[in-house]
């Protein structure tokens, strides 16, 4: 072993150890910060639920005002409309490759049909969807139609992955 090895190793350790310690401290602080944020969010939620319960009692004889203290209705009012979306990708069941040219059509009961077509990467996004349950189909000539059903939540972009299979040859 060269005589300079021990000196170089000590110099490297003097540089490396503080960096590792800094990394570990940063990691611990990040985890603590995340936990603190979760606890703060939970405290806010708990307080909001308490306020809703109080509002239900205070306005027991006034249905219009009492309905303003229902958590789901509050969330609907404070979440901007059109913030929900859907991203779909579709694979060919035989090749496991993404499938372009698949028509995706769906609707919420009583609303117009929404239609899109997968691009060259088998992907199609939808934005500004109303909250609720949707049903529809995936269609492409030469493939079995696939019924789909999903729920869109307020303020959430959902990701859905589907498989479409080639039609079986008719005898």
Q: What is the pLDDT of residues 24-79, one digit of tens each?
A: 777 676 666 677 778 888 888 888 888 888 888 888 998 877 877 888 777 655 65
Q: Which residue has the higher pLDDT, 112 or 39?
A: 112
Q: Which residue has the higher pLDDT, 43 or 95?
A: 95
When pLDDT is cut at 50, 70 and 90, the band that residue 136 belongs to is very high
Are residues 101 and 54 both part of a single domain?
A: no
As given in the structure block, the two tokens for residue 147 are 């019924």
C-alpha to C-alpha distance for 136 and 134, rounded to whole angstroms = 7
End-to-end CA distance of the chain, in Å?
78
Helix (H, G, I), strand (E, B) or coil at 82: coil
Helix (H, G, I), strand (E, B) or coil at 62: coil
Residue 108: predicted pLDDT? 93
Are residues 49 and 28 both part of a single domain?
A: yes
Are residues 86 and 159 both part of a single domain?
A: yes
When pLDDT is cut at 50, 70 and 90, the band that residue 80 belongs to is low
- Residue 169 within any structural domain of the chain: no
Range of the domain at 123: 80-164
Q: Tell which of 78, 94, 111 closes a domain.
A: 78
Number of domains composing the chain: 2
């Amino acid at each position: 072993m060269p005589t300079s090895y021990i000196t170089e190793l000590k110099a490297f350790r003097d540089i490396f150890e503080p960096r590792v310690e800094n990394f570990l401290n940063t990691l611990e602080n990040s985890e603590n910060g995340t936990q603190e944020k979760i606890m703060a969010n939970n405290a806010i939620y708990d307080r909001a639920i308490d306020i809703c319960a109080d509002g239900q009692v205070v306005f027991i004889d006034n249905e219009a005002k009492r309905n303003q203290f229902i958590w789901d209705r509050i969330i609907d009012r404070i979440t901007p409309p059109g913030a929900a979306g859907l991203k779909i990708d579709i694979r060919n069941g035989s090749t496991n490759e993404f499938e372009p040219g698949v028509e995706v059509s769906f609707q919420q009961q009583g609303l117009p049909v929404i239609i899109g077509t997968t691009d060259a990467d088998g992907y199609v996004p939808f934005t500004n969807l109303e909250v609720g349950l949707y049903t529809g189909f995936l269609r492409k000539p030469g493939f079995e139609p696939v019924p789909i059903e999903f729920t869109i939540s307020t303020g959430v972009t959902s990701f859905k992955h589907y498989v479409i299979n080639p039609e079986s040859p008719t005898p």
